[in-house]
Amino acid sequence: MSYVKSIMPDTALDLVEYFDSTYVNGTFKRINCATNKIKFKKVQPIFPPSVWNVHDATLNDEHRTNNTTEGWNHRFSNLVGHNHPSIWTLIKKIRLEVAL
């Protein structure tokens, strides 16, 4: 990330910091101690590279997409029939899906 930060224009640094903290290195959380010392705890990224990086999958000739998941989402969306169903409609449609 240091290389990316070095070549990005200053106007994009906030975006790079967001990407770094959310997807790559995480952040640090400040912890106040009883001894009046300030400590920092490493907080893992919300979506670490192991979740989204496809380098190993590419080398191992594995699937690099989530097409099966996307297919299920599309089919379930068609089954439900609208974007914001009530909880009862959603439960009914999930039961239909499980019964298939």
Q: How far is CA 49 from CA 14, 63, 82, 87, in A?
A: 20, 16, 33, 34
Mean pLDDT of successive 10-residue stretches along the chain, which has 100 residues: 92 94 93 81 92 90 82 86 88 87
Note the pTM of the prediction, 2 decimals. Answer: 0.55
Q: How many CA atoms lie within 13 A of 67 on its CB side?
A: 4
Q: Are 43 and 22 in contact (CB under 8 A)?
A: no
Both structure tokens of 8: 């990005």
pLDDT for the residue 96? 87
Radius of gyration of the chain, Cα coordinates, nearest whole angstrom = 21
pLDDT for the residue 71? 85
